[in-house]
Chain A
Amino acid sequence: DSGVTQTPKHLITATGQRVTLRCSPRSGDLSVYWYQQSLDQGLQFLIQYYNGEERAKGNILERFSAQQFPDLHSELNLSSLELGDSALYFCATDSPGYGYTFGSGTRLTVV
């Protein structure tokens, strides 16, 4: 257990729907990174938050948004879902000397 908690672990939903993925970092972690990993693809950086503020954006679609709350947990909102959005979604926090520590991920299946 990495200490970075993601819920839910699995999510199955229909095209056009909206879902929210949740990430709770470890106590003291201020940063949260979100990544998407499609089947047999590399990790694609989506967005980073630090202490409640957006710090960096990657290739995040306009249909996707995120926020980090005062208690430092973060949510990734995916709307108008398409089949191609089916993927593993990871959040991660930054640990000096260890790089990123990842949560166990949410597997999203859009049908």
Chain B
Amino acid sequence: GQNIDQPTEMTATEGAIVQINCTYQTSGFNGLFWYQQHAGEAPTFLSYNVLDGLEEKGRFSSFLSRSKGYSYLLLKELQMKDSASYLCAVRVTLRDDKIIFGKGTRLHILP
């Protein structure tokens, strides 16, 4: 089966750094995505990793280890507006091609 695990909730302080972990067990792995979703809104794209290593984009970085089935999203210099859910998602290509979403990690930022 296909499975994606990430913590349900995390709390961090404004200005700090937080790391959100994601582990996956999938067949046909073809890339990993991170999305941000504010309450009541649509998910929006943050990052994409298809090869091992770190991708940096401003305050956000994402890491992938395909051999370990592991990824993390690193958020630096946290701002109150970063309070949201963060979804780990894996593209799986077998007979068809689809993206499977984790249940998301709700991040609370404290002032």
Contacts and interface: CB of A to CB of B under 8 A. Distances in A.
Contacts of A55: 96
Interface of B: 31, 33, 35, 40-45, 48, 87, 89, 91, 96, 98-104
A88 interface: yes
Contacts of B101: 42-43, 45
A99 B40 CA distance: 20
Contacts of B100: 45
Given A42-B101, A43-B101, A99 B41 contact: no
Nearest to A102: B42
Given A99-B99, A100-B99, A2 B42 contact: yes
20 contacts: A42-B102, A42-B104, A43-B87, A45-B98, A45-B100, A45-B101, A48-B98, A55-B96, A56-B96, A56-B98, A88-B40, A90-B43, A98-B33, A99-B31, A99-B33, A99-B89, A99-B91, A100-B99, A103-B42, A105-B42
Nearest to B33: A99
Interface of A: 2, 41-43, 45, 48, 55-56, 88, 90, 97-105, 107
Contacts of A101: 45
Given A98-B45, A99-B48, 8 more contacts: A42-B87, A43-B101, A45-B100, A99-B33, A99-B91, A100-B99, A102-B43, A103-B42
